Structure 1
């Protein structure tokens, strides 16, 4: 605040209610350091240009300058547990065969035959293979990318002095994820994410979880619009009014960390500040137990005098999750059990590391239509401590007209929330196309993640093109 005028400086305004950290501080099981922290700084108030969402030229610039330089989550290690397992990761015009080529070796080969360019493995597939064989003429490579066979080799003697190994992207592993980067000169993943986020990742132990539900759907909206729909809780009151009686929406906390990571924390078990005085502690619990898809397993607790809904819910969630996962969660904080922790890992990944809503969102642009996005939702569970075998879910692909609630295994209530989020995208893309205004206006605090994300996009767009370089990618193997 400006001491002389008594006025707030830009970016200092907050919802006039208890803060996220004040709510968390009253919990019985205290929050860990990574949760009990803040990292916000004002980034300006200028409008964001609309052409980045509406023009094919901007989308092509992203493919040429940004996607080729950034670390992206291609798959989970559990997708390729055994030697010979592979997973195809497609990103716009680019495609990679991520394969376990050795017991402790994972590689990401460009998914293109060095003969006439045919894809070695079909887009969107996963499976097992002893080698990488082109379906067109049978050129074959070993799992490590070394050339194994050229049919009728007598006609290709001129290739004997050439490097004929499959080019590959860089690969790093972190948190059970397989990350790839097309740029051989890019910083390491640890440098890219920064020391503080590496500490967060270490604390979450996401390598101890597995994907039990994986759903994919496409939308007629630019990939950035689709991502930004999930970057703030400002929309909850109008888009998800049914959850406001038990969700601290407008007093959510927003943070950003250097260029490539940001987050928000949205508390549950408390009423929206916009509804103060209209709902009791019992009403908050009732909001969670109504309908067929109760977040508390069908239980309908009655609060005793002086009990807080948030604490009762935390205790019940702890017991419910311990029973379901056969895991001791006595050491896990109440906020990890209840609250939504949403981290964006630039450019296209959301991680939700909490216990109640452990999820992954991934967004990929359609190479043929800059107004279309592939959106994936993956749900995680802790691996049972008793060694019970678990099975990684295969992706279920929904048609445009289908609701998320139709996905097998999806909680209908949460599927409805995802539908509410994504239904806005149709109107937003069309509205931007029709708008006479050259940009969009953002809140200084509640929409800081959108601004931070777009500023990082701008940094990459200011660079020259960085296309995969065949000369640099050629290798001996």
Structure 2
């Protein structure tokens, strides 16, 4: 049992009540080793200037120095399963074509004609073609980016197939995702992924399929949007939910961080510390915790009082979800069945290895607009060993004013995402009117946010200074 600690060393304080490690060590089926690792480091407590979210010059610097030089996922491999399949990925002013070429190698090219600069493919998303042809004058390239057709070639003696091929972009794969990096001098993806390949050997994402893809425009800067999902500190107020107070925060390097917050293990001490009298001081019974996990069956409640709510709920979910997905989950740990486990890969990607919370997120600028962004939300469902990936569903696209409840398939998650994103416009407005000058972050619960800004500064060569 962890008690509230005084902050004798910055970043050493923790909420009272059981820690994530305490909970996971007592689970009925133990978690894989990576979930028992702890890797926190104090990164400072200077304010983060509001201008980093609002200033168009800062945004332009990101567009020039961050997005063309960082690895980011463009699509899933199942978006381009066959030779000739292609996917267009847009990030700010940049556009990239990812294509499965004749040699069955996935390649990526800037979506720009080498003649007069026209975009070759106009629409983001998946498509198919045996060649890539500019719609303006008909110049055409094969799937390896080699120029193959030049109408009126007699007038271009200064052009060769080699000199005017498409500009190739670095392209690598991990976890069923296809990553691109526009920088020709970029380090390899493996170097960038840090501990992710080792951790995700225990929960491979390539053994999953896209069950649902929702794309929504949000009314704030891309960093503010993703930061709303990087801590569980907001759970009590935003979601009126009795969890998240004892979440664990880990920083594995300058590119990778994680939080784990347990579901069905609530601490009355922490809740009192966060929300005073809003939550009753006596501990929730196992039956009450089971109900909070969505299980109301009387027989299950009786089992919960004899065992734990987590153990009973995890067992029920294993049986139900194994049958629904045709996947054997009998050895899956309680934590993977229940908990919100979220890895962040700089600058804008989130990967959840859990089964009942199986999301992937991506946050990116909405064109060249500093004050809005695009949030891609995918649900990745496990598939049986050896099963083929189905054709992925088309993304459900929501405008800035639409509710997530309009995205069929999100179910109980829809109102949660409305809550998660409901404060963002007010925050973006507040950035511009506050006289304080900067964001104040918690030393522990919001340390992942600070790590992102520190790494961003390495790309921009603009150190974070006190506002």
Give the one of 242, 258, 265 matched to 1:263.
258
User: In structure 2, what is the Cα distance between the partners aligned to 1:7 and 1:286?
Assistant: 35
Residues 55-454 of structure 1 correspond to what in structure 2 (within 5 A)? 55-102=55-102, 104-160=104-160, 163-194=163-194, 196-241=195-240, 243-244=241-242, 247=243, 249-272=244-267, 273-274=270-271, 275=279, 276-277=281-282, 279-289=284-294, 301-304=300-303, 305-385=305-385, 387=387, 390-411=390-411, 413-454=412-453
Indicate if the aligned counterparts of 2:79 and 2:391 stay in contact, CA closer than 8 A: no
CA shift for structure 1 position 435? 0.6
1:431-467 superposed Cα distances (whole Å, 9 cap, x missing partner): 1111111111000000011111111111111079xxx
SS at match of 1:199: helix
TM-score normalised by structure 2 residue count: 0.92
Deviation of residue 350 (structure 1)?
Answer: 0.6
Deviates more, 1:7-16 or 1:207-216: 7-16
- Distance in 1 between residues matched to 2:210 and 2:89, nearest whole Å: 17
Deviation track 1:225-273 (CA, whole Å, cap 9, x = no partner) reads 00100000000000001x32xx3x1110000111101110010012253
Q: CA RMSD in A?
A: 1.9
Residue deviations 1:195-252, cap 9 Å, x none? Answer: x3220132221111010100011012000000100000000000001x32xx3x1110
In the alignment, structure 1 segments of 5+ residues that lack a partner are: 1-5, 290-295, 465-477
Asked if structure 2 preserves the Cα contact closer than 8 Å seen for 1:82 and 1:103, the reply is no
The reply on whether 1:461 has 2:466 as its aligned counterpart is no
- Distance, in Å, in 1 between the alignment partners of 2:389 and 2:366 is 36
Contact 2:263/2:293 (CA < 8 Å) preserved in 1?
no
- CA distance change for structure 1 residues 99 and 389 in 2, over 3 Å: closer, same or farther? closer
Contact in 2 for aligned 1:383/1:390 (Cα 8 Å):
no
Q: Output one character per residue of 1:168-216: Cα deviation in whole Å (capped at 9) or x when no partner.
A: 110111111111111121211111122x322013222111101010001
Match of 2:454, SS state, is: helix
Deviations 1:46-89 (A, max 9, x none): 11111100100001001111112111111111110000000101
Residues 1:389 and 1:80: Cα distance change in structure 2 (over 3 Å) = closer
Residues 175, 202 of structure 1: 8 Å contact kept: no
Distance of 1:143 and 1:171 partners within structure 2: 14
Unaligned runs of 5+ in 2: 1-5, 272-278
TM-score (norm 1): 0.90
SS of equivalent residue, structure 2 residue 36? coil
- Partner of 1:202, secondary structure, is coil
Runs of 4+ in 1 over 6 A off after TM superposition: none
**Partner in structure 1 of residue 24 of structure 2:** 24
Deviating more after overlay: 387-396 vs 171-180: 387-396
Shift of 1:323: 0.6
For the 8 Å contact 2:7–2:13, the answer to whether it is kept is no
- The CA deviation string for residues 315-346 of structure 1, in whole angstroms up to 9 with x for no partner, is 11111111111111122111111111111110
Per-residue deviation, 1:415: 0.6
* Partner deviation per Cα, 1:292-324 (whole Å, 9 max, x = no partner): xxxx6x856323443311111111111111111
Of residues 384-393 and 43-52 in structure 1, the stretch that sits farther from structure 2 once superposed is 384-393
SS at match of 1:449: helix
Give the aligned length.
Answer: 447
Contact 2:264 2:292 in 1 (8 A): no
- Alpha-carbon distance in 2 for matches of 1:101, 1:348: 28
Measured in 2, the distance between the counterparts of 1:448 and 1:7 equals 15
